[in-house]
Structure 1
Amino acid sequence: MSLATPALIEFEDLRFYIVDCPTESTLPIYLQKFTELNVNHVARVCDSTYNANRLESAGIRVHDWPFEDGGLPPLAITKQWLALMEKHQAEVLDARATGAPLPAIAVHCVAGLGRAPVFVCIALIEHGMDPLDAIDYVRQCRRGALNSRQVDFLARYKRFRRNAFRDRVRRLLRLDPR
């Protein structure tokens, strides 16, 4: 049994892997791959098909945020996802300071074509990427990603945060000399 190749999405200090849904029988393969890729968070945006304890015991935090297949994330789930993005940025900063490998987040729905790419696009947009560029980039990395309803939502998506934390990190790292 093999794992479909995770789609790597990178932008500045963000690293995501969009994957299809693990099952109890495939979870050991995913765990091995997540460890190799330095995944420290998994966003599960579909109903559970595996026991998350195995990932949790390996130090990978699983966040359960299921929403409708082919749908859009509710506001409450979006805000939780954005809170994870802030935490992830702090973890990246810590990794850079210590010379540790940069952490990554794996995101999955059932096929990795709808809900998971929506989450990644939201993160890219919140991080400053133009919405249409985010859609195009994710689709280049994950063929078949996003239905027309999701594309329409993302094209009109307005950032919640103005990335004060990201801007502070950039100044600390002297990537943005303001």
Structure 2
Amino acid sequence: MSAAVQKRIPTVAVPAPATTTYFKPAPSEIAWGKMRFLITDRPTNSSIQTYIEELEKHGARAVVRVCEPTYDTKALKEAGIDVLDWQFNDGSPPPPEVIKSWFQLCLTSFKDYPDKSIAVHCVAGLGRAPVLVAIALIEAGMKYEDAVEMIRK
């Protein structure tokens, strides 16, 4: 490219996006009846404060972590948010003990804290976490096709 052409092309500095101010994909709130869930991707230690703000915005009282632990839960607990570790393999159905614990959490949370939600995350918020939410919706009487469609929106 000639020097004359280079002079006519303006250069603009574009700042890199801050890695702690957004989520990929965006959190999804799923509400049906008295149930409210927030499906998210996994936070990091550097994004944990932003994650807490998002949880508070959606009234989350608990976070269910179904993937490998990769961040410190201390800040969540200090913010009054319970953290439950129910890890299971990606691509596999949740084991019976996870399903039983999940149902119990849903029953007690939505009865005792009707204005709160439950957050659930896996690595990207696209596999294990939506499966748990779908199971809760189906157990509550939603048709499985409707549960999948609602979560995919």
TM bin (shorter chain): 0.7 to 0.9
Deviations 1:3-35 (A, max 9, x none): 222111110111111100011111111011111
Aligned-residue identity in percent: 42
Deviations 1:107-149 (A, max 9, x none): 1000000000000001101111011211111112xxxxxxxxx
Q: Are 2:142 and 1:129 equivalent residues in the alignment?
A: yes
Other structure's SS at 1:113 match: coil
Deviations 1:38-64 (A, max 9, x none): 110101000111111210111100110
1:106 is aligned with what amino acid?
A
Q: Which has the higher contact order (CA 8 A, sep 6+)?
A: 2
**What is the number of residues matched between the two proteins?**
132
| Structure 1 residue aligned with 2:123 | 110
CA contact (8 A) 1:13 1:92 kept: no
Other structure's SS at 2:63 match: strand
CA contact (8 A) 2:63 2:82 kept: yes
What are structure 1's unaligned runs of at least 5 residues?
Answer: 94-101, 141-178
**TM-score normalised by L of structure 1:** 0.71
RMSD: 1.1
Larger Rg: 2
Dislocated runs of 4+, deviation >6 Å:
none
Name whichever structure is richer in helix by fraction.
1
Other structure's SS at 2:46 match: coil
